[in-house]
Structure 1
Amino acid sequence: MIGALVLTVPLSGCRGPSGGQASTSSSTSAAPTSGQGTYRVAATIRVGKGPGGVAVDSGTHTVYVGNLDPDSGDGTLSVIDGSTRTVTATVPLGKRSGPVAVDPGTHTVYVVNATDSTVSVIDGPSNKITATVPVAPGSKSVALDPGTHTVYVGASDPNDGHGSVAVIDGSSHAVTSTVPVGKFLGEVAVDPGTHVVYVTNSGDDTMSMIDGSTHAVTATMPVGQWPESVAVDPDTHVVYVATRDPESAPNDTQPPSRSGRVSVVDASTRTVTATVPIGKSPDGLAVDPGTHTVYVTKYANDTLAVIDGSTRGVTVTAPLVGASLGHGVAVDPATHTVYVTNFNDGTVSVIER
C-alpha cells in the first residue's frame, strides 16, 4: 500500500464521529472497459511459493515480497532489486507470512507472521531480522506512517471476529497501544499527511478512522459490502476501499469471484463520494500519488484495473499475461512502476506504461 505502499451486518447502526449517522451520499461511476491500453507486463520475476504481500522502498527502489508456502506454511521474504529486476536475497521468516510494509526513511521492513502471531522486523540494507514483535492472534495486515515511524498491525480475533489494531513504536519495536475496531478486520492504511489510520471492517461493512496521535477511533462509517483492501492518496487525502458482494466472502478452498466495487471516500467530509464498478474479485489495492492513479488486482481473471483518481472511472483493465491468482499490488512512486504478486505462480509481474 502506500508508503512503499488479506458475514455482513446491516449498516443502520453505523455512526459518525459525533454520534450522528455517517453520510453515504455518492455517485456511481462508469463501468470498466477492457483493453490493455498503454500498460504492459515488462517482466515476470520468480520469487518464493505463494507470494502475497508486496511493498516498495521508494528510496532504494527495492521491492519486498512476503511468501507463504501453501504446503509447509513456512514464510520467506524475497528482496528484489527494482533496477535489475532480480531477487537479491531471500529471508526466512515465521509461519504464514505475507503482509509487508516498509519504512522508506529507515529502510526497515515489517512482515506479519499470522500463525506465529508476530511481526518480523528486517533491516533493509543487511536483510537481517533485528526484532520479532508479538502481536494479537489473527494478525493479517500491516501499514506504516513514515512521518512518525509508527507501525499499525490489524488483527481479527480467530474466536469471535472482533478486530483490533496494534500500535508499534518503530524505534523500540514495542506495542504501545491496542485499538479495538469492528468485526472481521480487512486491511489497514495510513495517510502520512494527516496521520489518520483507516481500517476496513468486513463483517460490519464499515471503515474505522483512528487518530494517529491519540490512537482513538474518531469515526466509523459505512463504505459498502464486505470492504477489505484500502489505500490512501496522500496528496488528495482521498481513501479508496475495495468492496464485494457478500456472497463472495473468501474461504480457503475457493476464491471469491463475485462483482466488486471501489468506494471513493472524501476524508475531510467522511462521505462516500463515488462508487466505481470494478468487475469480479477485487483484491489488492494501491495508489500512485504522483499520478493519482489507483490500481486494483482482480484474481478471478488475472487482470489489473486502473482507475483515474480525477475522473473516478476505470480507464483500462490490463491482463496480467502469464499470471495466475494476481493478489497483492504496490507502486514505486518515483518510477511509477507497478508490482503485482501472483500467488499460484510464485511470481511478481512488473507493470509499466
Structure 2
Amino acid sequence: MTGVDVSGPTTGIAPAPGGSRIAVIDFGSAALTVALLTASADGSARVVDSRELPPVSAGDLTESGLPPVVSAAVDVLRGAGITSPDDIHALYLAGYAAHNPVVQQAFRPLCADQRVKQLVPQPVPFVGPGPTSPVGRPNSRSNLPLIIFAVLVVIVVTVGVVVAMGGGDRRAAPDYPTVQVGREAGSKQGVVDSADGRLYVADDMAKSVAVVDTANHTVVSTISFQDEIVGIALDPELHRLYVAGQGDRGHAHAAIRAVLWVVDTTTNGVVATIETGSEGRGVAVDPGTHLVYVTNERFLGYQLDPKTVNVNAAATLSVIDPRSATVAASFELGTAAGEVLIDPATRVAYVAGSRYDQVRGSENGVIVVDLASNQVAGQITVPDAGLVGIAADFTANTLVLVGSDAIRLADTVSRTVEATLRVVGASGSIGVDPVRHVAYVADNGRDGYQLLIVELAERRLSDASIETGMKLLVGSAVDPRSRAIYAFVAGMVMFVPPPQ
C-alpha cells in the first residue's frame, strides 16, 4: 500500500504526536470511505488501512438511519486494530455530510475527546511505500486524501474541457479584480461596512480577519486570533466587529470553549474577550438594542455504545451585552445550532439547528426565537439533514436556506418552505441584495464555478449567473449601499461590480 505525506495544513489534518492514530470518514457520492492513519514523529501521517463501504443516502442522515452507518465504520476500525475510543487521537469527517450536525453528533463517541473535525483535502505528494500496510486485505484502498484529490482532478479537468470547448451558451468569466485575503482552503465569511468602505473577511483556517478597502481593492489590516473562527458580525453604529471562535481549554477531555472577541473597527484592535459557553457556532447583532447573540453547543453525556446515535446534547443561545462585556442571559434552543440571523423590526432570531422530540424524533431546519422573551417561538422544518448556509431578506420576508441537496426559500410570516430549487454543489456564505431582492449562492457543481442568482420575490433561480472561471467559491457578500458583490474564491476576494 502506498503512503502519503498528509502533514499540517496541506490537507487540513493537524500534526499529531508520533504513533497516534487518526480516523478519516469520507461521505463520497460513490462510497463511504473509512481510513485509519498513523502519525509520524516528523509531523506527517501514513494511511495504514482504508475501506470503501456503500454510499450513504440523504435518508440515512438521521438519528434512525445513521446507527447502521456508524456500526459499519466501527467494524472497519476494529478490523484495523481499534478497540476503544481512546485508541483514536482525532476523527475527521469529509465529504458532503461533514458539516451536518446530526452526523457529527453520531460519530463523536468514536473518538476519545469526543470531537470531530472537518477535513479540507488538498493535493499531496507521494513519499514512498508504507511499511505498516496490512497484507492480504482484498478491500484495501490507497489512502483517502489521494482518492479525494484524484476525484477533484477529474472534476477540474472535465470542467476545464467544457469551458475550453465553449460550454454550450455559458460565458467565460470576466477579468474581475481580486485581492489575497487568506489561505486557499477554509471557509470565508464577510461583513460590509458601507459607510467606511470596509469589507471584513474571516478565514477560519488562518484564524484571522482581513480588513479590505473596497474602493482600492487592498488589504489594509489583518487581525489575528488564538482560536478557530466560526462567525463574524458587525455593528457599524458602535464601530464594533464581533468575532466568534472556539478552541481547547488546554487539558484533555475538556469541553471546547466558545469565545467572542470584540474588535474596535477604528483601530482594528481587540478590546474585549468574552467566553460564551462551549463550542461556538454563529454570531449576530441586533442593531436596535446592540445586543450580540452567539449560538453554542454543549454535550451532557455520551452513549457508551458507539453504535448508538447520541442525542444527549443541548444547543444554547447566549445574549451578550457588549457595553459591559458580559453574558446577560443564556437559554436552550434544541440539540444543535449553527448560524443565527436577527430581524431587527420584529426582534426575532432565526437559528439553523435541530430539536429532538421523543415522538417525532429530530427535526432539522430553522429554530425561531422571540428575543423579547428569550423563548423558542417555533420552527421551520426543512427536509434536509443539515443546513450548510442561511441568509435572509427580511424586507421580502424570505429566508434562503442552502442544504446538502437543494436551495430552499422559506417565508418568515407563514414559517414554511415555499420553494425548493434543486441544486447540488451549493455551499458557503450567502450574499443578499435587499434592494433587488436577490441572493448570491456559491455553486461548485457540474456546471462550473459560479454565483447562482436567486430571485427571492419570484422564488426562482435566475437564468443568469456570475461566472468565476476555474476558481473554487466559498461564499459571497453584498454591499447594501452600492450593491457591489464580493465573491470569496479560494484565498481571495473577487470584486464584482453591481448589476446594471
Aligned equivalent of 1:109, options 232, 237, 241? 241
* Gaps in structure 1 of 5+ consecutive residues: 1-6, 11-33, 245-259
Shift, 1:41, TM fit: 6.1
**Residue 265 (structure 1) aligns with:** 410
SS at match of 1:117: strand
> Which residue is 2:146 aligned to?
none
Q: Which runs of 4+ in 1 moved over 6 A?
A: 34-39
Residues 44 and 195 (structure 1), Cα distance of their counterparts in 2 relative to 1, 3 Å cut: same
Q: 1:231 to 1:156 in 2, by over 3 A?
A: same
User: Contact conserved, 1:303 with 1:320, CA < 8 A, in 2?
Assistant: yes
Note if 1:194 corresponds to 2:346: yes
The structure-2 alpha-carbon separation of the partners of 1:9 and 1:63, relative to structure 1 and needing over 3 Å to count, comes to same
Cα drift, residue 99 of structure 1: 1.6
The answer as to 2:335 corresponding to 1:183 is yes
Question: Over aligned residue pairs, what C-alpha RMSD do you find?
Answer: 2.4
1:221-300 equivalences in 2 (<5 Å) = 221-225=380-384, 226-244=386-404, 260-300=405-445
Distance 1:216 1:284, change over 3 A: same
Show CA shifts across 1:214-257 (max 9, x none). 1111112312302232212121222221122xxxxxxxxxxxxx
Select between 277-286 and 127-136 the one with higher mean Cα deviation: 277-286
**Aligned residue number for residue 341 of structure 1:** 488
- SS of residue matched to 2:179: strand
Q: CA deviation at 1:164?
A: 1.7
Alpha-carbon distance, 1:208 to partner: 0.7
2:137 corresponding residue in structure 1: none
Letter of the 1:163 counterpart: A
Shift of 1:67: 1.9
Q: Which residue of 1 aligns with 2:208?
A: 76
Deviation at 1:211, TM superposition (A): 1.0
Partners of 1:123 and 1:47 in 2: CA distance: 20
Q: 2:288 & 2:465 partners in 1: Cα distance?
A: 34
Percent pairwise identity: 26
Residue 220 (structure 2) pairs with residue 88 (structure 1): yes
- Maintained 8 Å contact 1:266/1:272: yes
What amino acid sits opposite 2:466 in the alignment?
A: A
Secondary structure in structure 2 of the residue aligned to 1:235: helix
1:163 is displaced (CA, Å) by: 1.9
Code of the residue aligned with 2:286 in structure 1: it is D
* Match of residue 323 from structure 2: 171
- Which one has the largest radius of gyration? 2
Secondary structure, in 3 states, of the residue corresponding to 1:194?
A: coil
Per the TM alignment, residue 35 of structure 1 is displaced from its structure 2 partner at its CA by: 7.0
C-alpha distance 126-303 of structure 1, shift in aligned 2 (>3 A): same
Count of matched residue pairs: 302
What's 1:248 paired with? Answer: none
How many angstroms does 1:84 deviate by?
A: 0.8
Deviates more, 1:169-178 or 1:190-199: 169-178
Q: 1:150 to 1:100 in 2, by over 3 A?
A: same
- Return closer, same or farther for 1:41/1:57 CA change in 2, 3 Å cut-off: farther
Shift in alpha-carbon separation, 1:348–1:38, aligned structure 2, 3 A? same
User: Who is 1:313 aligned against?
Assistant: 460
Which residues in structure 2 correspond to 1:32-43 (within 5 Å)? 42-43=176-177
For the pair 1:327 / 2:474, whether they are aligned, the reply is: yes
Q: TM-score, normalised by structure 1?
A: 0.78
Q: Does 1:52 align with 2:188?
A: yes
Shift in alpha-carbon separation, 1:294–1:99, aligned structure 2, 3 A: same
Q: CA deviation at 1:39?
A: 8.6
CA distance in 2: counterparts of 1:205 and 1:40, whole angstroms: 39
Identify which of 58, 62, 67 aligns with 2:198.
62
Query: Structure 1, residues 310-340: CA drift from partner, whole Å, max 9, x if none?
Result: 211111333323522x223221100111223
Aligned mates of 1:335, 1:43 — CA distance in 2: 17
Contact 1:186-1:229 within 8 A present in 2 as well: no
Residues 270 and 76 (structure 1 numbering): CA distance in 2 closer, same or farther, change over 3 Å?
Answer: same
Amino acid at match of 1:318: I
> Normalising by the residue count of structure 2, what TM-score does the alignment of the two structures yield?
0.56
Correspondence for 2:70: none
Distance 2:298 2:383 in 1: 22
Kindly state the Cα deviation for residue 36 of structure 1 after the two structures are TM-superposed.
Answer: 6.4
Shift of 1:184: 3.1
Q: Quick one: structure 1 residues 56 and 41, their matched pair in 2 at CA, closer, same or farther if it must change by over 3 Å?
A: farther
Segments of structure 2 that go 5 or more residues without pairing to the other structure are 1-60, 65-167, 248-256, 302-311, 355-361
Q: Per-residue deviation at 1:206?
A: 2.2
Verify the 8 A CA contact 1:101 1:110 in the aligned structure 2: yes
Deviation by residue 1:21-70 (Cα, 9 ceiling, x = unmatched): xxxxxxxxxxxxx976799563211012245221111222210011233x
Rounded to whole Å, the distance in 2 between the matches of 1:41 and 1:143 is 34
Higher helix fraction (1 or 2): 2
The 8 Å contact of residues 263 and 270 in structure 2, kept in 1 or not, is answered as yes
- Map of 2:274 onto structure 1: 133
Supply the distance in 2 between the matched residues of 1:104 and 1:36 (Cα, whole angstroms).
39
SS class of match (2:424): strand
Amino acid of the structure 2 residue aligned with 1:242: V
Compare the two structures and name the one with the higher strand fraction: 1
Q: Which residue of 2 aligns with 1:155?
A: 296
Instruction: Supply the AA of the counterpart residue of 1:137.
Output: S
- The one-letter amino acid of 2:196's match is T
Q: Secondary structure at the match of 2:215?
A: coil
Counterpart of 1:204 in 2: which secondary structure?
Answer: strand
1:323 and 1:47 mapped to 2: Cα distance? 15
SS state at 1:8 partner: coil
CA distance in 1, matches of 2:461, 2:329: 39
Deviation readout 1:74-103 (Å, 9 max, x if unpaired): 511110011111000011212112421111
Contact 1:52 1:99 in 2 (8 A): no
Pairwise CA distance, 1:350:
1.9
Residues 1:218 and 2:363 are matched in the alignment: no
